[in-house]
Amino acid sequence: MKKLITSGLVLFGLLLQLPVKADEGMWLPLFVKRLNYDDMKKKGCKLSAEEIYSINNSSLKDAIVMLSGGSCTAEVISTEGLLLTNHHCGYEAIQTNSSVQNNYLADGFYAKTKADELPTGGITASFLVRIDDVTQRVLAELTPSMSESERTAKVRQMVKTIEGEATNGTHYNASVKSFFNGNEYYLFVYETYTDVRLVGAPPESVGKFGGDTDNWMWPRHTGDFTLLRVYAGKDNKPAEPSADNVPYKPRHALPISLDGVKEGDFTMVMGYPGSTDRYLTSYGVQTALDISNPAIVKLRDKKLKIMKEDMDASTEIRIKYASTYAQIANYWKYFIGQSQQLKNNNVVEKKRALENQFRTWVGQDPQRQAKYGNVLNDIESAFNDMRKYSLSRVFMNEAIIGGSSATLLALEVGQMKTMLADTSNPAAIEEAIAELRQMGAQVFKDYNEPTDRKVLEAMITMYMNEVAREQQASIFDTIRTRWNGDVKAYVNDMFARSVFANGQKFNQFLDKPSVEVLENDPAVAYITSAYMGFLTNQRPAIAEIQARIERGNRLFVAGLREMMPEKKFYPNANSTMRLTYGSVEEYDPRDAVEYEEVTTLKGVIEKEDPSNPEFEVPAKLKQLYISKDFGIYGVNGELITCFISTNDITGGNSGSPVINGRGQLIGCAFDGNWEAMSGDIFFEDKVQRTISVDIRYVLFLIDKLGGAGHLVDEMKLLRKGKEVKRNS
């Protein structure tokens, strides 16, 4: 917090202190010892590099979990496989298990025993085994004379070979990822568990406190957490979900610190950030500002308004659409904020300054000129050509593919017509039908036909009005001619006749699958025409332009690293394990505004608004506040709820552990801040912050609000390095 300096002996230099800068970099843990360790020690890290990342010994990496291939991160917090992640990461699992009778979204849920833990509907937990640098092996197969398509094909071949070798004879899975825009390659080997169960979550009035209003904002007071548990076979190896499975025994579980945080404390975040584009050029940024971002926001805004109207009218529909709505809303607001901050933070100008520096450096040497002289011009030309298709690409993803659950299912099934027509292999057909039944069950479980119909009508209308006529598939001309442009009538007819309109019709079709039925189904006809029209008429041109952009970016990044040999470069996020480090720090985002580094339960009470579902406060939580019944989790009559730090995170880091210098858990990261929403493209070192829920607030909510102290008893709690019990 801000400290007032009263001594007349203060040195003049202290009056000239610069604002604390955020700590840029999403670092591969493989290279922590070489690139980061000395700096981390100076900032307060007490661990050795081997204690952070080790192949042969237990280390922090063994407690860090990739959920469902990189959708979120979790951490192991007990020797019985208990995981902590964000509420929004477990939201779909909570929603899946909810009903009007057992509304775990509204009421929260805590399993009293392990037998009461619930299935999560497919969440997986992957533990990193090792990282190998395979750059030289891949690059040895590539030549400068290769076209981009030839290069891509060769890389894919090498990736398949290397992944196969890494997993042959094991139960592991592996992935080779590209880094620095195709200049380096690394192999990641994982052990993946598929039996992950829901253990506990607070009511969404706590887990989503502040809702869309507070999303991406500081100060924050959200108890954003969920508890899961990993189950294994009796040999502790991955096993299919079964009642015979037992809690997973981890190589490492994070101990939990009750000491709290204060300004300047060292913080480390380990997790699986999904995607950044820090090396994007000014041309790409300008395209996002002009075309892509506004279109995404406009389409999602329309979907959200339609869904919310129906959700507000029915508890059943609200439960069904809760997860879908939350996912759409999260990145609806993200793209609003990103566009605003790209402008406010002058990112295009900053990118141009770097590009001008690059041009000057290239022009100083004939060899550089030969290698890099045309790079930026080529990228600019490619982005100019891509602008013709940018709007159509967004609408294809958001309005056509993402426009309706029914038509998306029709696309999946419609592509199986050839297989269904082949009666020579009835076993294959039977297996496919079983898979389709399962797929349909997932779709129609959280489906309301009138809502889906209204969303599709809106998406088709917007597509026809805003995408260039010459880029639209023939089905849209049919709507204009046969249906006189009456989209509502067209969609109503589709839903009246299609087997994909509801679960009953779909299952009846699967009872007697028919190629003829699929060929005459209006939903199949619509989505096939719209999607295949895009693939046929636009995709080839887009792929050629994209190849030019990728080649230019690869050379640009290679040139930047050559231009600045003293700089420690880190790669863009790509859903692989990364480590970031920083400290707990306040920030001053704009004139006359100062944000302190922590929030308290008092702020929850101050924000309460019973008329607004986003700011409801459970009666029991208010009573606990009034009575100051904080247990061992409060300090000096206060309960810290959230804190901010200078760590560098992005989507996929949701649920990542915030770890102190002694390797102890102090918080769970769940958001970035509004003033740095451009951070995925350009790191804003003066204002970028990570927002985390304080671990003591999490434990308080589990124990005092949820009455699930038995779960806290699984954890190793430390105060000043000594183990304590929750009732001590």
User: In the structure encoding, which two tokens stand for residue 392, read together?
Assistant: 């159509």
The one catalytic residue in 78, 87, 88, 692 is 88
User: In the structure encoding, which two tokens stand for residue 141, read together?
Assistant: 């197969």
CA 573 – CA 316 distance, rounded (Å): 38
Q: Check if 390 is active-site.
A: no
Residues in the chain: 728
Which residues 6+ apart lie within 8 Å of 524 measured at CB?
A: 410, 411, 413, 414, 498, 500, 518
The one catalytic residue in 23, 62, 214, 224 is 224
Asked if residues 303 and 455 have their Cβ atoms less than 8 Å apart, the reply is yes
The one catalytic residue in 175, 282, 404, 654 is 654
CA 514 – CA 497 distance, rounded (Å): 15
Which residues 6+ apart lie within 8 Å of 653 measured at CB?
A: 73, 269, 271, 272, 273, 274, 669, 690
Element (H, E) at 602: helix 601-607
Asked if residues 668 and 701 have their Cβ atoms less than 8 Å apart, the reply is no
- Three-state secondary structure call for residue 450: helix
CA 382 – CA 287 distance, rounded (Å): 11
Q: Check if 680 is active-site.
A: no
Element (H, E) at 484: none
Asked if residues 654 and 66 have their Cβ atoms less than 8 Å apart, the reply is no
Q: Check if 88 is active-site.
A: yes
DSSP per residue, 63-95 = GEEEETTTTEEEEE-STT-EEEE-TTTSHHHHH
Least Cα distance to 71 among 54, 93, 55 occurs for 93
Asked if residues 608 and 308 have their Cβ atoms less than 8 Å apart, the reply is no
Beta strands 125-133; 184-193: pairing state: antiparallel
CA 398 – CA 534 distance, rounded (Å): 14
Beta strands 717-719; 256-257: pairing state: parallel
Q: Which residues pair with 76 in a beta bridge?
A: 83
CA 698 – CA 695 distance, rounded (Å): 5
CA 574 – CA 77 distance, rounded (Å): 25
Given the structure tokens 């509204």, which residue do they identify? 106
CA 23 – CA 32 distance, rounded (Å): 15
User: In the structure encoding, which two tokens stand for residue 647, read together?
Assistant: 């760590």
Helix then strand count (H, E) for the chain reads 28, 23
Given the structure tokens 């141009």, which residue do they identify? 352
The count of other CB atoms within 10 Å of the CB of residue 39 is 13
Q: Longest C-alpha distance within the chain, in Å?
A: 93
| Catalytically active residues, by annotation | 88, 224, 654
